[in-house]
Amino acid sequence: MLNKWKVFVATLIRGLGVAGAAYASEIVVNGSTTVLPFAQIAVERFAPAHPEVKISISGGGTGNGIKGLIDKTTHIANASREIKSSEIEQAKANGVTPFETAVALDCIVPVVHPSNPVKNLTFAQLKKIYTGEITNWKDVGGENAAIAVVGRDSSSGTYGTWQELVVEKGDKDQKSRVTPKAQVTASSGAMLTTVAKNKLAIGYEGIGYVDKTVKAVSVEGVEASLATAKNNTYPLSRKLYMYTDGAPAGDVKAFIDYVLSPDGQKIVTDTGFINIH
């Protein structure tokens, strides 16, 4: 009974909606905020050449994007981590086959305030800072001042990667946790502002976000750059993906092809990420 009613209302209102739309097809892009900067510009440049395609982009986070793909509400899920096996199972149950396309490379870079004298940190130091064992900058070669630890929301891909590659590094059974005293920021941009405004802060960012307002710290003596990411010497790099239901086709393929094209990859490098080829 309720279901019939629901279908009726949905159909009715959908009818109204479709009557107003004049597009041949629709692409909904959602997912990681890390991928947003270049994906958004790609959408901006792609749209004028394809007026028949209605395209919108949101940055709900990697988990949300993949959720959308599973629910079939999202056509392209941006991800800053690989899809989890549990997510693949859910997708399969819903008749969706996630297809992975790597679109860019990203280095996660620890960042501090520009006035901070610390230039390099080891994995062990980073881990101790984030788990709350080290709380003073003087213990890692800085001034005698407290450390303000800044983290990301637990559902962001950047958090996941940082958690896996830094915080849980060397863990056996008992997984380490980020200290609950860490401030939590809801997006990469918010993290950047927080660190840029705080002399005592340490945070982490995708390399595309790092600008003059903060100072990048090298990890184990290796600076994050195009070269070190490409030859795999920088230890904190990862691929960025766009997931689709099955191999991309039609307008979705046109968009992903555009991202992978020299023009698209130039957007990737212009926004501070590293091209995939």
Whichever of 217 and 268 has its CB closer to other proteins, that residue is 268
Q: How far is the CB of 231 from other proteins (least distance, A)?
A: 25
Stretch that binds other proteins, among 52-60, 119-127, 218-226, 231-239 (CB under 8 A): 52-60
Q: Is 203 in the site for other proteins (CB under 8 A)?
A: no
Strands of 147-263, DSSP E: 148-152, 183-185, 201-206, 215-216, 218-219, 237-245
Q: Is 71 in the site for other proteins (CB under 8 A)?
A: yes
DSSP readout, 45-112? HHHHH-TTEEEEE----HHHHHHHHHHTS-SEEEESSPPPHHHHHHHHHTT--EEEEEEEEEEEEEEE
What does the block give as tokens for 203? 């945070």
What does the block give as tokens for 98? 């996630």
Token pair 């709350």 is found at 132
**Footprint on residues 227-266 left by other proteins (CB under 8 A):** none
Whichever of 9 and 247 has its CB closer to other proteins, that residue is 9
Q: How far is the CB of 165 from other proteins (least distance, A)?
A: 15
Whichever of 122 and 263 has its CB closer to other proteins, that residue is 263
Q: Give dist(CA 126, CA 151) in Å, integer.
A: 12
Q: Is 197 in the site for other proteins (CB under 8 A)?
A: yes
Q: Is 153 in the site for other proteins (CB under 8 A)?
A: yes
Q: Is 138 in the site for other proteins (CB under 8 A)?
A: no
User: Does residue 103 contact residue 276 with C-beta atoms inside 8 Å?
Assistant: yes
Stretch that binds other proteins, among 43-51, 102-110, 220-228, 258-266 (CB under 8 A): 43-51
Q: Give dist(CA 159, CA 141) in Å, integer.
A: 25
Report the residue from 98, 110, 142, 208 that binds other proteins according to the rule CB under 8 A. 208
